Amino acid sequence: MKRTTGQDRSITQGWRPATRAVRGGTARSEFGETSEAIFLTSGYSYDCAEDAAARFAGEQAGMTYSRLQNPTVEMLEHRIALLEGAEACRAAASGMAAMTAVLLCQLSAGDHMVGGRAAFGSCRWLTDTMLPRFGIETTVVDARDPQAFADAIRPNTKVFFFETPANPTMDVVDLRAVCDLARAHGITTVVDNAFATPALQRPMEWGADVTAYSATKMMDGQGRVLAGAVCGTEAFINDSLLPFTRNTGPTLSPFNAWVVLKGLETLDLRIRRQSESALEVGRFLEPRVNRMLHPGLPSHPQHNLAATQMDACGPIFAFEVEGRAQAHALLNALGLIDISNNIGDSRSLMTHPASTTHYGVAPEKREEMGVTEGLLRLNVGLEDPADLLADLDQALTMVGL
C-alpha cells in the first residue's frame, strides 16, 4: 500500500478541515482504487520467518495482526488525527471502549481522577462505579466552574475527564481555564468531544492533552455502526494507550472503520446543516417549553463561552417540560421524529434521558446532574426543518404546550 499524493505531513498540515475529512490518511493498493479499500483480514503473512521475527521485535515496518494494525483502520486513525490536529489516534470498537481505555491505560490503584458531573450515563458509571472498584479515587464536580476542579486537586490527581457540551444537559466547560489549570499541576486532561467533533471544536487548540470520541455519533452520522477513537501525542498513544488496547482487545473492525471513513467525507456538510436546523428548532420550542438548554441560544448561561470555543453548537440540545408523564406523552405524540436514545444520526431523534440513557444513574445523582424527569434530548437531523417544526407543533399542542 502506498499513501496517495499529498499524504506527507508537511503538505496535509496545510489542508483545510473539509479537505482533510475527504482525503486525509488515504492509502491505495496497487489497484489504484479511489475509495478506500476494506481489508477484511485478521492476520498477515510474511515472506520468511525472519521477517515475522523482525516485525514482532519492532525492527521491520509492517502489520502482524488486526488486533494491532489493519490498513483500513489505520486510514481512519490518520484521518481523525488530521482533523483533530493531533499527532496520533487510536480507534476503538465503540465510544465506551475508547472512554474506558483512555482512563484505564493511565490510572492505577491509589491514583485520583476528577470528572465532570454532567456526563453520559455510562461515563458516570466509569467514574462512580468501575474506577473505585479498582482502587482509583474519583471526585465529581460541576465542570462549568473551573474553581471546582482546582478545589478537587489532590497530590495523587492524575486526570481531569469531562464532556463539553455535556450529555444531556449541554453544560459547557471553559476549556482554556481547566486545561491550563491541569497543565500547571501535571494533570492529563481528557475531553469527550463527541457532541461537537473536530469539525466544530478542537479541544487541543485550547490546551487539552487527549480527546476521546464516540465515532458512532456524528462521525458516522447515519446510525450504522459503533466506533470510538482517542487522539493525543504519539507518546501517549503509543506508550500508554497502545499497550492497553493491544492486550485487552477493544478493536475496531475494518468494515466499521470503512463506514466511518465514508461518514467523515460529509461530516462538515452534515454537522453545519444540522446545527443551523437545530437553532431554528430551538428558537421555535423555547417559548413553549419550561426551559431550553441550547448553547447556541442567548438564553443559555454559557452562550458566550460556547461561541468562543465552538464554530457552531451542533445538532443536539435539550429542553424541559412538566415531568415524566408530559415528557413521555410528547414523545408518543411525535409522528416524524423517532423515539431513540442514539444521537448524531441524519434522522431526527428524541429521548427521555432519565428513563433511557441515564436510567442506570441513581435518582439523586440524576437530580444533581440536572437530568430531571421532564428533560428531553433532541438530535436534529437532515430533514427539512419545516417538517420538524410541524411535527413538534402538533405534538406540543396535543400535550397542552
Strand spans (E) along 121-233? 137-141, 157-163, 188-192, 210-214, 228-232
Count Cβ atoms within 10 A of the Cβ of residue 340 and give its class: 0-12 exposed, 13-18 middle, 19 or more buried. middle
110-146 per-residue burial string, b: 16 or more CB within 10 A, e: under 16 = ebbbbbbbbbbbbbbbbbbeebeeeebbbbbbbbbeb
pTM of the complete model: 0.94
What pLDDT, on the 0 to 100 scale, is given for residue 70?
A: 97
Which residues lie closer than 8 Å to 71 by C-beta, 6 or more apart? 1, 27, 37, 39, 63, 254
What pLDDT, on the 0 to 100 scale, is given for residue 13?
A: 76
What pLDDT, on the 0 to 100 scale, is given for residue 385?
A: 97
Identify the residue whose cell numbers are 454559557: 302
DSSP assignments along 247-268, one per residue? HH--PPPHHHHHHHHHHHHTHH
What pLDDT, on the 0 to 100 scale, is given for residue 2?
A: 57
**Across-strand partners of 160?**
114, 189
What pLDDT, on the 0 to 100 scale, is given for residue 14?
A: 82
Contact in structure between 268 and 17 (CB atoms under 8 Å): yes
What pLDDT, on the 0 to 100 scale, is given for residue 5?
A: 42
CA angle 120, 125, 129 (to 5 degrees): 160
What pLDDT, on the 0 to 100 scale, is given for residue 11?
A: 72
10-residue block means of pLDDT along the chain (401 residues)?
56 84 90 93 96 94 94 97 96 98 98 96 95 97 98 98 97 98 98 97 98 98 97 98 96 98 97 98 98 98 98 98 98 98 96 95 91 97 98 98 97
CA atoms of 359 and 342, how far apart (whole Å): 14
CA atoms of 191 and 108, how far apart (whole Å): 19
Task: For residue 237, give the 3-state DSSP assignment.
Answer: helix
Count Cβ atoms within 10 A of the Cβ of residue 294 and give its class: 0-12 exposed, 13-18 middle, 19 or more buried. buried
Residue 303 amino acid letter: H
Torsion angle, alpha carbons of 269, 270, 275, 280, to 10 = 100
What pLDDT, on the 0 to 100 scale, is given for residue 6?
A: 42
First vs last C-alpha separation in the chain: 59
What pLDDT, on the 0 to 100 scale, is given for residue 18?
A: 85
